[in-house]
Copies of this chain bind each other. A is one copy, B any other.
Amino acid sequence: MKTMREVAAGMKAVSARMANQSLEKRNQALAAIADALEANQAAIYEANAADLKKAMEDNLPDPVIKRLRFDEHKLADVTKGLRDLIKLPDPLYREMMVRELDEGLVLHRVSCAIGVIGVIFESRPDALVQISALCIKSGNCAILKGGSEAMETNRTLFRTIATAAEAAGLPEGCLYQAEERSQINELLECHEYVDLLIPRGSNGFVQYIMNHTKIPVMGHADGICHVYVDQDADVEKAIRIVVDAKTQYVSVCNATETLLVHRGIAAALLPKLHAALREKRVEVRGTDDVRALIDCAEATEEDFATEYLDYIISVKLVDTLQEAVDHINHYGSHHTDAIVTENAESAEEFMQYVDSAGVYWNCSTRFADGYRYGFGAEVGVGTGKLHARGPVGLEGLVTYKYKLYGNGHIVDDYATGRKQFHFVDQ
């Protein structure tokens, strides 16, 4: 068996060819993968049954088992996803700028693939299909490491995908599946060959990756999202949004963890909202002034810095919009934060001053997602500020290069004043 270092070095050598595959070839590969997954469905379900059996024997928690299941609905989802991805425009070879620097000297900024991307993801086997597909469409080579609970399913999916992709003409070795946990640490050492790592998993796991590699990491460490209900909010709208943002799916990064309420609307909002949250079995933890209005547990400093990923919400009253902004910028994770208000000016102020990848007005934080943004799918959500921020789809998987076309142009002519730049954008 090859070491991870050998795999990564080999993939680096293949990456320039992968980056130069035509859109037609890349789309043909995606179509072939969709067909092959359908043709191989019996084997995929069988492998998934083995993973599910083992997961139940190991008493894994229900949410994990739910995410692990790969049935005909999931297959229909991923094949539809693949066919939708084919329709998306080419992220490569896009002319982002064309500028004539001087007569006969023309600068082009053109999008191109990043190269070799390592993705380490959790239990959902459909993630493997989505991520491979996004990497193929964007001309990148990919090293994939899925969760061990999904080992059999992932292996069958991967073999189906890699075989179909290579049969459709993509370079041999453009995709690789790592199965051993020890390979993750080997991968972290491969900074000469791997251009980008995308870890998807728990906060601790992502932090571990970031602290143990020189490879650039794109990922969010956690998602402490907020809803701020302004004094000019519509109470019914606020309840509807908070209930969705908290309960529509609690174990995901874009679920809301903290509710901030303007003191001027607290008495009108909180009792009704509390009733609505109780119906969904949400535990409310509030500051003292919240507890003066509703009967709930106490929220400590620690609560505001916690990503519950559970049916729990912390609540705090604020005197001003600015106080809400300051709280969010201090305790939040720069993921997604929403304001509920009928006042457009307050909404704009909130959206300008909150320093997060997503700033929302009168809608649920749960919309922060590549599919819902129309990106086809996502490889992850970035809470850093550089490169790609928020849900990351195809665009986050490309970079650019500057191509300069001349005809014997030298800098000395410009340094000595014989020639001048004129900068005309085309």
Contacts and interface: CB of A to CB of B under 8 A. Distances in A.
Interface in A334-373: 347, 351-353, 355-364, 366-368, 372-373
Contact of A361 (B249, B374, B384, B405): B405
A386 B15 CA distance: 16
B101 A421 contact: no
A360 B218 contact: no
Given A20-B352, A115-B385, A386-B399, A409 B374 contact: no
Interface string A231-247: 00010010011011100
Contacts of A20: 352-353
A248 B196 CA distance: 35
Interface stretch (A26-34, A123-131, A305-313, A411-419): A411-419
A203 to B, nearest CB: 15
Q: Give the dominant DSSP class at A's interface.
A: mixed
Contact of A367 (B216, B240, B329, B404): B404
Interface in A1-27: 15-16, 19-20
Nearest to A96: B395
Contacts of A211: 214
Contact of A411 (B356, B366, B407): B366
A107 interface: yes
Contact of A362 (B214, B244, B406, B415): B406
A205 interface: no
B196 A414 contact: no
B101 A358 contact: no
A401 B361 contact: no
A101 B409 CA distance: 48
A325 interface: yes
A195 interface: yes
Nearest to A236: B408
Interface size class of A (residues with CB under 8 A): 35 or more
Contact of A409 (B15, B234, B364): B364
A423 interface: yes
Contact of A389 (B196, B401, B423): B401
A105 interface: yes
A385 B353 contact: no
A426 to B, nearest CB: 12
A45 interface: no
Contact of A373 (B101, B234, B347, B352): B101
Nearest to A362: B406
Interface in A239-275: 240-241, 243-245, 248-249
Interface string A196-230: 10000000000000110010101000000000000
A405 B362 contact: yes
25 contacts: A20-B353, A101-B372, A101-B374, A105-B363, A115-B385, A216-B385, A218-B386, A241-B410, A248-B412, A249-B411, A351-B403, A356-B401, A358-B402, A358-B403, A358-B404, A359-B404, A361-B405, A364-B411, A366-B411, A367-B404, A368-B402, A373-B402, A385-B399, A389-B401, A390-B401
Interface of A: 15-16, 19-20, 99, 101, 105, 107, 114-115, 195-196, 210-211, 214, 216, 218, 234, 237, 240-241, 243-245, 248-249, 325, 329, 347, 351-353, 355-364, 366-368, 372-374, 384-387, 389-390, 399-412, 414-415, 421, 423
